[in-house]
Structure 1
Amino acid sequence: MFISQDSPVTFKGFTLVMPAVAVGNVGQLAVDLIVSTLNMSRVGYVHTDCLIPMAGNNPYVSCKEDAEELHTPAEVYAAAELKLAVLQIRAPVVQTKSKKFCQLLVSWIKASGFSRTVVLSSSHAYQRDDQQLQGTPLRYLATPSLLKVSADALNELGWREMERVPPFPGVKDADAQPRLCIPGGGVTKGLYADSCTEDLPLAVLLLFCSEGDNVPDAFTLVNHLNDWLCLLDNPSQQSRSKWKIPTSWSLLFGSGIPPALF
């Protein structure tokens, strides 16, 4: 599944950050900011038929020499000095293969020896229930394996755990068990459930949002992650200026209106 670009790569003890292809593509945009700001090197890619095939130019162009590099739907970047790896996913998951994709990712994470995995995701804001409308739009989930080593750190941050909701909204039934529901979250719930089953240390950070200009949401999510992982030197400075916007973002909304129309 994972194919290294040059020499064999070891991820033992690394933290893995990856997005879920979810509403607003917030997780993918946040990962773009991490890769671009930390100037991470591409070390390989994930080859699978679970993603819609695509290819494009280098989204993190820094000079003319690398502008024409070919990039694929799922690529892995690393910063060895930070013990950090990032899996960027640029294509939607084939609907009938989402379960298989979760299993492949969990198998790779387990075999690679990552110390922890963080999934950046999002969920439809309009489908929140009453309790989810209160307070911050940010939520987290953590597997039992991660809580064994990071429960104190998460408690100190004061983060809010993703609420479970009744099977039938608005209907109170003492016998009905609340369930985890992440509408618009793509493979988020599947990855979390499989990681719990496999006893993997995994956390999900997600944001309630709507489709549109989701750049502000990406900054909110990546700053939230930075509060925990301290990827930058000044984690308390909650501003956009510390994150480097990749060149590919200039085309987020197309190439503009053709002057010939006027």
Structure 2
Amino acid sequence: MKGQIDLTEINKSDGKATLTVGKKTVILDYGKECIEKFGSVKIDKQISNVDKVNNYLTYTVTVTAGKDGCKGLYVVDKFTSNANLVSYAGNISSTETTLTSNDNKKDPFEMPIEASHGKIYKADIPDATTKIPKPGASEIKNPCIVWNIGNMEPNESRMLTYYVKLNDKESLKDKPIDNSASLYSKGSTDTYDKGSEKASFTPTIVYSSFEKYVDGTIKRNSDGSYTIPFKSLISIKKDESNYTIKNLQFYDYLKHNMNTEIDADLLQYIHFD
């Protein structure tokens, strides 16, 4: 015999339900944490915006409860590759802080506006046995953020938006930045996996030209030397690139390990002006 049960009809104090079939009565015992363990809930993770000028990424995490709702929900969000290329933006500390619905383009916020908002804090990335790290860490070496949602009503949906800054001092090109958000339901005796979602961003720069050429008239000086005006040009395709290069350094060599290097016998007669 197969059937379904409405978790909201279970006695919330002991996790038991009474099933009557004809003249038979059966007590079904789902345990005291039946809502945490069996309550259906889904998670979705997206990169909703890329600020190509200031090098910020906007991430959204959406959690949607099923028809029974769910209790004790947490999301642990972490970067799983090239974490040194990004940092969580805004005011997120190791102290658990209540979220608001105010979007100031810097701090994390939670929607919808009328929801009873959850809390957020920063922690060290947990191991597989810990799952949900506690707030209040004095030193954080490998940061993640924890979204303490709490309880969700049947069919309720909540969305967290947060911002991430690309590291302008690192070489970013073509290095994939992978992120994972894991959803858990925490009871008094156990923590239950509720799924995870990933999002990936690969910084891309497409160069349209990289040139060096004589720009102007070669001048013969009174001492018999010559001045040769050179111009170097670098340009990128904006529509095909997804971030702005910061702290760009360009090196120009008279002698370089290339096929076009200047003959060694001539170097004594050549210098930058």
TM-score interval for Structure 1 and Structure 2 normalised by the shorter chain: under 0.3
Structure 1 length-normalised TM: 0.25
Structure 2 length-normalised TM: 0.25
More helix per residue: 1 or 2?
1
More strand per residue: 1 or 2?
2
